[in-house]
Chain A
């Protein structure tokens, strides 16, 4: 009943049914429903953090604005472009898996992992620049640049919690993606486990979606 409007699967591409499912279609639906059930819990986790950012903006507008002006707006923007590119390569990997083009799929997965790694490198540089600017209020031995506006600590600490949690999800995602790429390069993978690529793709796009929300809520609207 689903996926009628999508391009069809190539011959030889499919899913090996495991015994506790009646049909392959049921197995596919269960996998997608399972990942969505988890993504919804993740959505609520990050939404609560973003909501706190909006409340801080309402409660302490001047302090939040002062802190936000220290954020690296252009690095955040470039990182958003990087993740949007990685979403494209992940979608390409899914498309290639449906077409049965295994080598192209593996290359698209590696490109996705490389773009995800680039995001983390840029994020690490951003944290380093923040450290240099004394914008880490949780470091007891390092003076905080905005010490005269105590409320800004709340926003800056929230910024680190939200972005490092996102970075942890991305790091985990890259690790899983590399492991899956290693398995996906083996002969016969697409005949047995094509839906792994689709299910994993949902997770990757979701990481992208969270950053699409984080960038404007933390960097843009507080300027």
Chain B
């Protein structure tokens, strides 16, 4: 079977690298962060490990938003919409947990 990559010109390869660099790096970052969380979940190295696990998740979400969903390249109005969504979530979670944690 012929390798389709062998038919690419040097210019094609350069374009491919240019277009796929960020997606591949994001993919590797997400896999690495997932490996950290799975290791923490499987070994439970200390009592408050959940805080570290949630911090790792926050970084994963940021990677998806900024690099996979390319929000950093969007116009200000789209960034405002996305930011407001997470701001509303912060209000929802913050006010609810303030109640439960403050009892």
A36 contacts B81, C-beta separation under 8 Å: yes
Partner of B30, one of A58, A84, A92: A84
Count, chain A residues at interface, CB 8 A? 51
In angstroms, Cα B73 to Cα A74, docked, is 35
The answer to whether A33 touches B77, judged by C-beta atoms less than 8 angstroms apart, is yes
A91 to B42 alpha-carbon distance, docked (Å): 30
Complex contacts, A7 vs chain B, CB 8 Å: 15, 18-19
Quick one: CB contact mask for A191-223 with B, threshold 8 Å, 1 for yes? 000000000011001101100110011011101
How many residues from B make CB contacts under 8 Å with A? 50
Chain B residues with CB under 8 Å of A77's CB are 34, 38
Give B contacts to A, CB under 8 Å.
15-16, 18-20, 22-24, 26-27, 30-31, 34, 37-38, 40-42, 44, 50, 53-54, 56-57, 60-61, 64-65, 68-70, 72-75, 77-78, 81-82, 84-86, 88-89, 92-93, 96-97, 100-101
**A residues near B, CB below 8 A?**
1-7, 29, 32-33, 36-37, 39-40, 43-44, 47-48, 51, 54-55, 58-59, 73, 77, 80-81, 84-85, 87-88, 91-92, 95-96, 98-99, 201-202, 205-206, 208-209, 212-213, 216-217, 219-221, 223
Q: Closest 4 A-B residue pairs measured CB to CB?
A: A40-B85, A91-B23, A220-B41, A95-B19
Given contacts A2-B73, A39-B82, 18 further A-B contacts (CB under 8 A): A2-B74, A3-B73, A5-B73, A33-B81, A39-B85, A40-B84, A44-B88, A47-B93, A87-B27, A91-B23, A92-B23, A99-B15, A202-B69, A212-B30, A212-B61, A217-B57, A220-B41, A223-B41
